[in-house]
Amino acid sequence: MTTRIPTLSDVAKAAGVHSSTVSRVMNPSTRGMVSDDVAKRILAEASRLGYRPNRAASTLRTRRSHVVGVVLPDITNAVFPPILMGIEECLRKEGYLAIVANVGSDADQQRFVINRLLGQQVDGLVFATARRQDPLIRECLNRGVPVVTVNRSEESGLVSSIVNDEHYGMRLAVAHLAGLGHRDIAHLAGPDSLSTGHQRRLGFMDAIDALNLDPARCSVVETPGYSREAGRAALLELLQTAPATTAVVAGNDLVALGCYDALKAKGWRCPKDLSIIGHNDMPLMDLVDPPMTTIRIRHHEMGFESARLILQAINSGVDSVVDIRLKPELIVRSSTALPRSARGRRPR
């Protein structure tokens, strides 16, 4: 025997109200139009009957799916789960659901996934994959899809973003090392095609200038990606071209972990032979050996704010552009110390 699925009319009859009242209560964005007592009674009856809103019918009626697509470059990178948690927390409060797509860095794969998301009638897209010049984002804007970028920004000036204040973070890192007495400070930069790599590189050079350090003694090596392998290769290259370097500001924590690997391969020790600062403060950076000094970024808040911005864009229909930069924090642990020259010790 087939059990009949309860309808909105069944809930209305059980609660003793009109169907339109039930419809308002089932939608979190209009629930406030109904008194608390009536809303509680309707929700209780809906739960008792096992009623579930018909999202497909609602989408046809309102042209809203109450679903937002979230596009991530690498879900295995520990930076992105807290961003995603912040996004989902904000969306749930407003009755929205996130569809998450892990798209990698290949442009064709990204385009395929984004087209499929748009085919699912998502109300908007949150991009964590943005490049400084990103044709996919502009394609979405041309199709009238609300877009927000998170963690990375796009330079067209057409899309809102919520990012870290990269210049401030690099100033904190360089000032910390200079305060310890370092003068030969290098930066292993992320890819310049990404706003994080580009802005952190500019922030590093600005900090060198502001602290009156000699830029000729402060090398920059660009890595092809934010990976441990890229960090290892970049540091080995740096120590060949700038052997006097006593401290490194890495593009992120994974690059910094690669620096640990390179030092171990050379028989050097951190921070005795080289001080290292990471960027992001991923989970467990306090448990590596040595515990890593790093720049802590507020990823959960970043995700929450990106969801707030996309909901604002969806609900207002206004194309106003907002650029939010969250202040990071320096977390000092054991991977930074006085330069080796101050201790009269040279690396082997």
Residue 260 domain flag: yes
**pLDDT above 90: residue 270:** yes
Domain check: are 237 and 121 in the same one? no
The string of pLDDT tens digits covering residues 242-251 is: 999 999 999 9
The string of pLDDT tens digits covering residues 308-329 is: 999 999 988 766 899 999 999 9
Residue 99 domain flag: yes
The answer to whether 331 and 169 have CB atoms below 8 angstroms apart is: no
* Sheet with 67-72, edge to edge strand ranges: 97-102, 67-72, 124-127, 147-150, 160-164, 323-326
Domain check: are 283 and 305 in the same one? no
pLDDT above 90 covers a percentage of the chain that reads 71
63 falls in which pLDDT band (50, 70, 90)? low
More reliable by pLDDT, 264 or 58: 264
CB-CB neighbours of 309 under 10 Å: 25
Residue corresponding to tokens 């009623």? 51
Domain check: are 185 and 320 in the same one? no
Give CA torsion, residues 334, 299, 153, 197, to 10 deg: 20
pLDDT for the residue 318:
64
Domain check: are 125 and 207 in the same one? no
The string of pLDDT tens digits covering residues 128-140 is: 999 999 999 999 9
- Mean pLDDT, the chain, as a whole number? 91
Residue 61 domain flag: no
| Full residue range of the structural domain in which residue 150 is found | 66-164+298-328
Domain check: are 15 and 123 in the same one? no
**Which of 43-52, 265-274, 289-298 is least confident?**
43-52
Domain count, the chain: 3
What Å distances lie between residue 139 and 10, 69, 114, 127, CA to CA? 44, 15, 10, 13
pLDDT for the residue 107:
86
Domain check: are 232 and 269 in the same one? yes
Closest CA to 115 of 133, 136, 100, 95: 136
Residue 58 domain flag: no
**Which of 52-66, 70-84, 284-298 is least confident?**
52-66
Domain check: are 31 and 151 in the same one? no
59 falls in which pLDDT band (50, 70, 90)? very low
**pLDDT above 80: residue 182:** yes
Highest mean pLDDT (candidates 17-26, 108-117, 313-322): 108-117
Give me the mean pLDDT over the 156-179 stretch: 96
Domain check: are 81 and 201 in the same one? no
Give me the mean pLDDT over the 7-24 stretch: 85
Residue corresponding to tokens 């877009």? 147
Domain check: are 108 and 132 in the same one? yes
pLDDT for the residue 347:
47
pTM: 0.80
Residue 226 domain flag: yes
Residue 1 domain flag: no
CATH of the domain at 18: 1.10.260
Residue 348 domain flag: no
Residue 210 domain flag: yes
Domain check: are 243 and 336 in the same one? yes
Domain check: are 35 and 138 in the same one? no
149 falls in which pLDDT band (50, 70, 90)? very high
Domain check: are 308 and 202 in the same one? no
84 falls in which pLDDT band (50, 70, 90)? very high
CATH of the domain at 258: 3.40.50.2300
